[in-house]
Every structure is written in C-alpha cells, then in structure tokens.
Amino acid sequence: MGQDMLSTLLSAPNVETWAFYLLTTLSICLAIGVLVDRVVIRSGFILIGVFGTISGIFLLLSAQFLALAQIMIYAVGITLMVVIALMLTNPRLEREQLIVYNDDSLPPLAKLFASCKRNLNLWVAVLSFVTLYAALIGENHWPLSDQAVSQDAVQTLGEALVTNYSIPFEFASVLLLAALMGAIMLAKGEPKHKVEDGDLTIVDETKKQENNLALQR
C-alpha cells in the first residue's frame, strides 16, 4: 500500500501535482500549528499562513480571483481577529490552569454525557468532517463541465452570484448583517464593575512578577 502511494507520487505527471502535495502538506502542518501553539496571537498569525496556502491551492486550480479574494479577506480579517484577541485576552496574567474533573462518583452514563459535553468542540469537528467526507466520497455526482477554464472567472462568478446563486448570496448577506447587529448589541452591553479591592492588589502583584509570561512560555 505504502509502496503504491509512493510510486504514484513519484510518477506524478507534472509540476502542478507536486505543488499540490507540497501546499497541502504545508497547510496541514500549519493547521496543526494553529491548534498546538499555546499563544493565542501566534496561532492567529499561523492561521493566516494556513489561508495563504489554501489560496495557493486555488491558484493551482486556476481560480485566480478566488485565491486573491482569499488572501485579501483573510489577511485583513484575521489581523482584526488577532487585534481583538490582543485586546480581549490578557495573556500576561492568565496562566494555563489544569482543570481536574472529578466525576468518578457519577454513574457511567452520566460520566459519558459529561465527557461529551466537555468535548463538544471535538464532536462537532468529527461530525462535520464525517459529513463532508461522505458528501465528497459517497456519491460521485459533482457536475463536471467540459468547458475550458477561462483565465479570469470574474465575469462568470459575477453572473452566477446574481442569477443562479442569488438566494444563497442574499442569505449570506442577511446572516452577516445579523452577526453585525449581534456584535453591536454585545459591545453595547453594560460593563461589570465588580472587582474587589483585595483581588485588584493581587492582580497587580502578579503583573509585576510574571511580566511577559505569555512570551516566555
């Protein structure tokens, strides 16, 4: 099996195939890096790298416009996300706390539920991966067109967005609008002024001691 894969790889017909493997490897490595890196800001910057490599894959598929849109939207968008992460989190004060769950006393079924609840993100990820994989592999019903790929798909894309796909397009706009309004509502929420004096002095102490903890970690 491994031999076969290696021989297919080595007998890859052209540069594009090689470039595809290179870009996918790079993007998977960077994606793992995003998950593994404990510094929020740094993983944000690595995420930009992931999207950069994905835009490289778009370029290989001769979707120039999509590749550039990917760079333009995600480079700026993730920078904003990083900035927000910088402003909302305080990496110099928060030390990673090892959370110990003691649900030994629970019955087995409840224990299972508790673990599912804790690892909800994991299950959502697994579920979406399985769904996507099934959709990609299960039925081979992707419409194939024998038209030549035009060099700039801008016109085709624009026409498709206002004719065939106008409802999904509008739906996405409405969703974004709702998200914007939600963000404004959240941002306008009343701030909590409930810091006790004792806590504040402790925070100041830790600030002095652990200056720059996040960077040295």
Partner 1 sequence: MFSNGDEIFKISRLTIVWLAGIFTIVWMVCWGLGIALPMLLTSQLGDKAALTNEILRAATPVIAILVFIPINAMFMVLIERRALALWTVRKGPNRVGPDGNFQTAADAVKLLLKEDITPTGADAVMHTFAPILFFAPSVFGAVPLLAAVTNNHPLFHVLNLPTGIFFVLAAGALPVVALVMAGWASNNKYSLVGGLRSAAQAISYEIPLVLSLITVCLMAGTLDLVKITEQQAGGILNWNLLGGGALTGLNNALAGGGAKALATSYFMGPISYVCAGLLVISLIISFWLYLTGACAEINRIPFDLPEAESELVSGYNTEYSGMKFAIFFLAEFTNLFVVSSITTVMFLGGGDNPIPPYILNNIPGIPQMVAAIRDSYFCSTLHIINPETFFATLWVIAKVYGLVIFAVLIRGTLPRFRIDQLMAFGWKRLIPLSLIVFIIVVFAREFVICHG
Identify whether the C-beta of residue 60 lies closer than 8 Å to the C-beta of residue 9: no
Q: How far is the CB of 110 from partner 1 (least distance, A)?
A: 44
72 belongs to the binding site for partner 1 (CB under 8 A): yes
Name the 3-class secondary structure at 100: coil
151 binds partner 1 (CB under 8 A): yes
Rounded Cα–Cα distance for residues 107 and 78 (Å): 43
User: Is the separation of the CB atoms in 206 and 93 below 8 Å?
Assistant: yes
Angle of CA points 158, 59, 37, to nearest 5°: 110
The smaller minimum CB distance to partner 1, of residues 124 and 203, is found at: 203
Q: What is the C-alpha separation between 121 and 95, in angstroms, rounded?
A: 22
Whichever of 9 and 76 has its CB closer to partner 1, that residue is 76
| Choices 76-84, 112-120, 177-185, 193-201 (CB under 8 A): range interacting with partner 1 | 76-84
Binding site for partner 1 (CB under 8 A): 39, 41-42, 45, 48, 64-65, 68-69, 71-72, 75-76, 78-80, 82-83, 86-87, 151-152, 154, 212, 215-216
